Amino acid sequence: MGEGAESLRDIIGRRDDREAPRERPAEGDHGCLGEARAHWIDRDTVVWPGEPACQEGAFLVFHPGDVPWGHGEQDCGACLIRLMPGRLTGQQRVRWPHLAGHPAYKVDPQDADLVPEALRGQVVAVRRDPEGRVEAVTGVQLPGVLDDLYAAAAGAVLGPSGKMFPKLAVWAPTARKVELALYGPTGRRVHRMRRDDETGVWTVHGPPAWWGLEYTYLVTVYSPDAGAVVTNEVTDPYGVDVTADGRRSRIICLTRAALKPPGWDRHAAPPPVPQHRAVVYELHVRDFSAADPTVPEELRGTYAAFALDSDGTRELRALAADGVTHVHLLPVFDVATIPERREDRTEPPAGELAALPPDSERQQEIVARTAGTDSYNWGYDPLHYTVPEGSYATDPDARVREFRAMVAALHEAGLRVVMDVVYNHTHSTAVLDPVVPGYYHRLLDDGSLATSTCCANTAPEHLMMGKLVVDSVVTWARHYRVDGFRFDLMGHHPKSNLLAVRRALDALTPAADGVDGKSIILYGEGWSFGEVAGDARFVQATQANLAGTGIATFNDRLRDAVRGGAPFDADPRVQGFGSGLAGAPNGAPVNGGPDQQRERLARSCELIRIGLTGALAGYVLPSGRAGSEIWYNGMPAGYTAAPGEAVAYVDAHDNETLYDALAYKLPQGTPMADRVRMQVLSLAVVLLAQGMAFLHAGSERLRSKSLDRNSYDSGDWFNRLLWDCAQGNGFGAGLPPRRDNEARWPYARPLLADPSLRPGPADIRAARAMVGELLRIRSSTPAFALGTAEEVRRRLTFPGSAEGVITMCIDTSGLDERWRSVTVVFNATPAPQAQAAGSPVTLHPVQAESADPVVRSSSYDPSTGTLTIPARTVAVFVEP
């Protein structure tokens, strides 16, 4: 059976021999068997770009898989499905927009009964010219017809299930055979699985003794990559537990008591928080404790560290008391790129790293040597979507129990838990593709793998990949009590897929599922790029498209206006509102002259004002322009229908930390006290904006990654999160890794060598105290939680203010019994500024008792009705 591709060539060749001789089409021209340019989109329709074939000039050739090769010419008709010229319907054009302009063919009704069998072998499209000669040959992409023929599989329960007697189920409609390989004390035993012809699902039932055993599937299937029928041994893509490094799946039931930490069924999450009031703290599990000396060494970097009394856990409790509502955990599903057993990992020598100069190249060289085998990776390398990562457990076999204990500990600290999910790609095709080749990953027009995410893109527009996303999210919510999900590269998902996730979560109830699904928040990266850009293949889950859905997206307009420039600038010194554009030029030519700087400052302030409304498309600024009419890189600055659909942020795990961005952008001689104030001012824009606020862990304490703009594999050294102020903030840990930063080394070297850019303990404590005050102001003041666009339009205004100053006034009458209004003045300039006030006001009680003497000096002069705001300060005033 391994000669399928060659035999089909023989069939085509023999039939062609009866016609006039013709040279075979060239590779990449009209097609070949190494490509898949034809698309079988449903049981009746094939789309094949190129010149339409003549009547009866196109057909599909398939090998049934159970007929011996070498059959006679007279039997070739059994391997053909005739195609007739046709047209796509309007519905098909909507479903397949990237194919809408290409020729379509209809399956001859007389051959319709051959379709199910054809799909379980090799399928090739053949096109003839009017003279009957073979004109083009290509492989065929099958996801559309599989979704049509096996639509009933959408309701199937896949993976392990059952209470006393385990059942295993896997969707493999193209497989010739699927078997269960069970690994027990006596070795491997293989069990037959039964196929359901309506769904394409293979199942097997077993005795109670199967619980806890390791297993794989043996899938016998035609592989286009191999050009043959092969038998793949593969883990369960729907599995919920695996052995170390994901080598085998394990049969478990997540409701078993042995997999639950003490009190799991009784513990409760903190009260739900509406999405527009959420303050999210983005944290990496390993960062949290890897550098914390108050955590026992054997527990550093693990789930277990969250249940201890340590510097880190005390700080999380303090942040929760100040007003942080959620901890967002970077990927904690099973990751492909971290060895899960400690003995298999190699760490760089921390003592040697610490002894090197702050601007040395040696640190990054040392870290790079062990990057592939150390304990560190951000984790955007999915292996098994619905299994906790094992390297964060004290023992990979205890991953389920320890993950749950971490969630319970965070809940007890007053924090709800968000999980960073990465369903848009996989680290490789090793788990999904061997089960249904060519289905779970998105293919380009020629059949090659799409990798615009830098990895193997998945295809959640396909029915069963979309189902995998929904089922996985529901499992994390129901069985792990996860309170929110952040979708990586969400624009590579269809909008319909995210709405399906929302509906599935909304259906979860405390009585039936132990969780209130409607309280679970959803947000993600709504970027549009790659082969799906511009809704090329489906309506994407992007910023503008999600307006009105309640699903939030990151507001890059606000980020760039505050920081200055954009993440991929060749020169990192481009200034913004929070980095010196307002009166503190750094002299870099990239910023232009005074007039250009003034114009960019005005534009940045407009973007920030719209960001402060929650990026509302319909909010009209004093300029008379609505958010949707102000442009940012060719897109509307305002794009949401409700403030809770925007995530305000100025830094995250991606790109330089805020402190590092300011190190590049502020004049190098800026005193540390002023750097602290600009850090806090930048974060204040986030914390006092309408909508969701998002903080990168450590930004409240000036966290640095030594200017590393992409620390995904930079080890613990560059990613240190230091809870003890005496340890510094991480700046000056050496030149950042060459891989992604070498072009910026000329800018970085003199900064890292400058001791005045390393904050002392007092500086870090001051930043933390001021951010804590902003958090308390936000959480205690309804003015910063206007939940609807109507309320924002009615209550929030932007009075005129000086250049480099943004003033925001919120009418709180009927909303807050203490105050009639709240006024916020963001003074980004290096000089005090005056601002007219309509009514007598006083400093917000939190700031009136601030640890910062500068903000306490903010004042209101009743004789002139004028506010005075110190340099580089955010002051909040209230009207009794």
| Catalytic annotation, residues | 488, 525
| Residue 332 CB partners (closer than 8 Å, separation 6+) | 285, 379, 388, 389, 392, 403, 419, 420
Please count the other Cβ atoms lying within 10 Å of the Cβ belonging to residue 511. 6
Alpha-carbon distance 83 to 39, whole Å?
Answer: 13
Distance CA 8, CA 428 (A): 29
What does the alpha-carbon distance between residue 647 and residue 772 come to, in Å, rounded to a whole number?
Answer: 19
Q: How far apart are CA 425 and CA 432, in angstroms?
A: 11
H/E run at residue 205? strand 201-205
Tokens, residue 87? 């047209």
Q: Could you give the CA distance from residue 761 to residue 701 in angstroms, rounded to a whole number?
A: 10
Q: Is the dihedral of CA 630, 634, 635, 637 positive or negative?
A: negative
Q: Which two tokens stand for residue 453?
A: 């995410």
User: Is 804 in contact with 714 (CB distance < 8 Å)?
Assistant: no
Exposure string for 845-856, b = 16+ CB within 10 A, e = fewer: ebbeebebebbe
Q: Which residues pair with 419 in a beta bridge?
A: 329, 485
Chain centroid to CA 195: 35
Tokens encoding 342: 């400690």
User: Residues 265, 266, 270, 276: is their CA dihedral positive or negative?
Assistant: positive
Give the span between the Cα atoms of 64 and 176, in whole angstroms.
10
| Cα distances (Å, whole numbers) of residue 511 to 149, 259, 478 | 36, 21, 12
For the record, the structure tokens of 325 come out as: 């509502």
Smallest CA-to-CA distance from 557 within 570, 573, 544 is with 544
In 589-711, alpha helices (H): 594-612, 658-665, 672-687
Pairing relationship of beta strands 692-696 and 104-107 according to DSSP bridges: unpaired
Cβ proximity of 3 and 228 under 8 Å: yes
Q: Which amino acid is at 734?
A: G
The answer to whether the beta carbons of residues 551 and 545 sit under 8 Å apart is: no
Tell me the C-alpha to C-alpha distance, in Å, between residue 604 and each of 166, 575, 804.
Answer: 59, 10, 10
C-alpha to C-alpha distances, 765 to 320, 660, 671, 726, nearest whole angstrom:
17, 18, 16, 10
491 close to 541: Cβ distance less than 8 angstroms: yes
Q: How far apart are CA 800 and CA 823, in angstroms?
A: 13
The CA-CA-CA angle for residues 804, 809, 814, to 5°, reads: 170
**Phi, psi values for residue 632, rounded to 5°:** -140, 110
Compute and round to an integer the Cα radius of gyration of the chain: 30
Q: Which helix (H) or strand (E) holds 318?
A: helix 311-322
What residue type is 316 in one-letter code? L
Instruction: Annotate 699-746 with DSSP letters as a single string.
Output: GGGT---TT-S-GGGSHHHHT----SGGG--STTS-SPPHHHHGGGHH
CA–CA separation, 698 vs 327, rounded Å?
Answer: 13
Return d(Cα 248, Cα 239) in angstroms, integer. 10
Query: Quick one: angle between helices 658-665 and 556-563, nearest 10?
Result: 40
DSSP state, residue 880: -
